[in-house]
Amino acid sequence: MSDTKMFMIGSITVPSTWIALAIAFVIAFAVVRIKSGKHAADVFSDALFYFIIVWKFSVILTNFETVIKSPLSIIYFNGGIVGFYLGLAVAGARIVLEIGKNYSFERLVALFMGAVSVQVVYQILMVVMNPGDWIVNVVTVGLFLGFGVLVWLNAYKSRSWAIQLTVLWMAVHVFVAAFQEQGITGTPVIATICMGLFFAICLYWKRESEEKV
């Protein structure tokens, strides 16, 4: 969904994307905590923290001259698309490091559910907060909400189910994006594909390694 509306919070003007992401992060953290307990939730919150910090401060790399001339610009700007992907990479590295410490398949599934929750809640809130074509809105809310419920009910049914849901996640977002303004080449879709492939590979590797023991 496109960011088309700004909101006033006190004396600060905040874009709808920030509000949607903040709420999505809180709900996703709660999902991970409910499904797998405090340790998994801590890993998830760490990954989110690294993502936000890298995305925010990568502006030093992507716009070095501006930061040198005006250091306070760090407060108002971020690293853009480059910083966004750098943040995803660092967050993924944090999860990979945890997997190497005998992190169970079930806890990894909880992290996957957290990532899905971020995407589902974000997409739905962007529809709620921003005006748009009703057909696009219905498709977006209907498919993402339906997929979120499907993941909640079936992610723990079997290990094969969990891996298959990562593939379905990517397919659902590509289909929805075909109706949205940014299309299937937009950053949200590419991010979902990156995260979907990441979790598919991690879950498959973890399943195989645990079954060999």
Alpha helices in the chain (DSSP H): 16-57, 59-62, 64-69, 73-76, 80-99, 105-129, 134-154, 159-177, 187-212
65 in any annotated domain:
yes
Averaged pLDDT for residues 102-117:
91
User: pLDDT grade, residue 9 (50/70/90)?
Assistant: low
The partner residues of 137 in beta bridges, in order of sequence, read: none
Give per-residue pLDDT as tens, 12-68.
Answer: 667 778 888 899 999 999 999 999 889 899 999 999 999 999 998 888 888 877 778
- Asked if residues 7 and 16 have their Cβ atoms less than 8 Å apart, the reply is yes
166 in any annotated domain:
yes
Q: Say if residue 1's pLDDT is above 60.
A: no
User: pLDDT grade, residue 71 (50/70/90)?
Assistant: confident
Of all residues in the chain, the percent with pLDDT exceeding 70 is 91
The tokens describing 143, both together, are: 């498919």
30 in any annotated domain:
yes
Number of domains in the chain: 1
Give per-residue pLDDT as tens, 147-187.
Answer: 999 999 999 999 999 999 999 999 999 999 998 887 888 88
Q: Say if residue 105's pLDDT is above 70.
A: yes
- Asked if residues 28 and 115 have their Cβ atoms less than 8 Å apart, the reply is yes
Averaged pLDDT for residues 8-12:
63
- Asked if residues 64 and 74 have their Cβ atoms less than 8 Å apart, the reply is no
- The pTM of the full predicted model, rounded to 2 decimals, is 0.88
113 in any annotated domain:
yes
Torsion over CA: 25, 195, 84, 14 (sign): negative
Phi/psi of residue 5, nearest 5 degrees: -135, 145
Averaged pLDDT for residues 125-132:
85
Averaged pLDDT for residues 126-150:
91
115 in any annotated domain:
yes
The tokens describing 151, both together, are: 């993941």
Q: Say if residue 69's pLDDT is above 90.
A: no
1 in any annotated domain:
no
The tokens describing 88, both together, are: 């995803």
| Total residues belonging to the chain | 213
Q: Say if residue 90's pLDDT is above 70.
A: yes
Closest CA to 146 of 134, 156, 138, 136: 138
205 in any annotated domain:
yes
- Asked if residues 193 and 168 have their Cβ atoms less than 8 Å apart, the reply is no
- Residue span of the structural domain in which 55 resides: 6-212
The partner residues of 12 in beta bridges, in order of sequence, read: 9
Q: Say if residue 197's pLDDT is above 90.
A: yes
